[in-house]
């Protein structure tokens, strides 16, 4: 009979005993071990088993597990969606100052149009430096959702989120800043706002609105705005392809020293774009 080397026996026993020990610790009522098992199963996308262990930890008043269990009910992971159960567990975690639970609890209230409670929970979460809550709070102040419009507070909270490298907050903050300045008549802000709409940075992409703000900037004498209007008409973005108008805008910008417009005075749209956009419903103008 072959004997298994001692070191190999020890290795096998230790490898097998570790998860058993973790489960045993959980069964002894130690919430951290139950939570860790829940997280392991969650990472394996075994949501049914994950929920089982998260429930054990949550019932032991372990806030991270209560938060996760609330999100399981909110998103329908390992169970059917149940907003009431989601709210119950998120509230228990939120009252223990779990900032993520506070944020999602705020979202539940906002979805119900209970803006007072939504604001309170977002604010609690934001004060704990949770970037998503800071971003949402900034939008609430900007649009006056359940509170008075307050641009100073809007920028303050968005900047806090941006300082944590939350890119949507940085982009949205810039977009809102340009929008405010543009409404006050600043030509550069009008151009930058047009750029935001053109690229969809921090704001929903909208070529028609981009053209609107490029036109306003061009009317205040910004040559680069005319250049962009030329490209919009050349490629049919937000308008029908109109080479005649494109050359008109390029000429205006070229006369003001915009070299890129000078280089595109005789440009034509690519054949692929012509085939895609020129039809009886949207006729193109080439001369």
CA distances from 1 to 4, 5, 7, 35, 281 (A): 10, 13, 18, 44, 87
Which residue, 221, 246, 262, sits at the end of a domain? 221
Query: How many other C-beta atoms lie within 10 A of the C-beta of residue 114?
Result: 14
The more confidently predicted of residues 83 and 173 is 83
Q: Is residue 184 part of a domain?
A: yes
What is the C-alpha to C-alpha distance for residues 76 and 47, in angstroms, rounded to an integer? 10
Is the pLDDT at 12 greater than 50, yes or no? no
Number of independent structural domains in the chain: 4
What's the angle, vertex CA 238, arms to CA 235 and CA 244, rounded to 5? 50
Residue 2 belongs to a domain: no
pLDDT at 16: 47
Angle made by CA atoms 193, 199, 201, in degrees to the nearest 5: 70
Domain boundary pick from 179, 195, 221: 221
Q: What is the pLDDT of residue 95?
A: 98
**pTM of the full structure:** 0.64
Backbone angles phi, psi at 238, to 5 degrees: 90, -10
CA angle in degrees (0–180, nearest 5) for 268-225-255: 70
Q: What is the pLDDT of residue 184?
A: 78
Query: Which CATH number does the domain housing residue 61 bear?
Result: 1.25.40.10
Residues 75 and 130 placed together within one structural domain of the fold: no
224-280 residue pLDDT tens = 999 999 999 999 999 999 999 999 999 999 999 999 999 999 888 888 888 888 876
CA distance 18 to 73: 30
Structure tokens at 105: 């609890």
> Angle 83-94/99-111 helices, nearest 10 degrees?
140
Kindly state whether residue 205 falls inside one of the protein's structural domains: yes
Is 108 part of a structural domain of the chain?
A: no
Q: What domain range includes position 72? A: 26-96
Question: What 3-state class would DSSP assign to 63?
Answer: helix
How many Å apart are CA 11 and CA 4, to the nearest integer?
11
Same-domain check for residues 247 and 265: yes
Residue 9 lies in a domain: no
Mean pLDDT of 60-88: 96
For residue 239, what are its two tokens?
């308008």
- Asked whether residue 47 is assigned to any structural domain, the reply reads yes
Question: Alpha-carbon Rg of the chain, whole angstroms?
Answer: 29
pLDDT of the residue at 281: 63
> Last residue of a domain, which of 96, 127, 148?
96
């Amino acid at each position: 009979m072959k004997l298994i080397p001692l070191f190999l026996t020890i290795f096998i026993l230790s490898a097998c005993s570790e998860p058993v020990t973790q489960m045993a610790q959980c069964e002894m009522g130690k919430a951290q071990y139950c939570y860790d098992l829940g997280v392991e199963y969650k990472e394996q996308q075994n949501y049914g088993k994950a929920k089982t262990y998260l429930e054990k930890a949550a019932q032991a008043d372990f806030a991270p597990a209560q938060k996760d269990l609330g999100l399981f009910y909110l998103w329908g992971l390992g169970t059917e969606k149940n907003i009431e159960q989601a709210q119950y567990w998120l509230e228990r975690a939120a009252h223990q100052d779990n900032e993520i639970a506070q944020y999602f609890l705020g979202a539940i209230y906002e979805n119900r149009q209970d803006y007072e409670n939504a604001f309170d929970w977002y604010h609690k979460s934001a004060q704990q430096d949770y970037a998503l809550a800071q971003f949402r709070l900034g939008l609430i102040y900007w649009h006056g959702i359940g509170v008075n419009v307050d641009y100073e507070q809007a920028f303050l909270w968005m900047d806090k989120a941006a300082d944590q490298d939350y890119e949507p907050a940085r982009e949205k903050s810039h977009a809102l800043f340009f929008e405010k300045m543009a409404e006050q008549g600043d030509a550069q802000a009008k151009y930058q706002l047009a750029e935001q709409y053109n690229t969809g940075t921090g704001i929903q992409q909208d070529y028609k609105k981009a053209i609107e703000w490029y036109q306003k900037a061009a009317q205040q004498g910004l040559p680069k705005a005319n250049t962009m209007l030329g490209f919009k008409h050349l490629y049919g973005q937000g308008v029908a392809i109109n080479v005649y108008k494109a050359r008109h805008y390029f000429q205006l910008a070229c006369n003001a020293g915009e070299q890129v417009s000078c280089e595109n005075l005789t440009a034509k749209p690519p054949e692929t774009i012509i085939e895609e956009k020129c039809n009886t419903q949207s006729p193109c103008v080439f001369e």
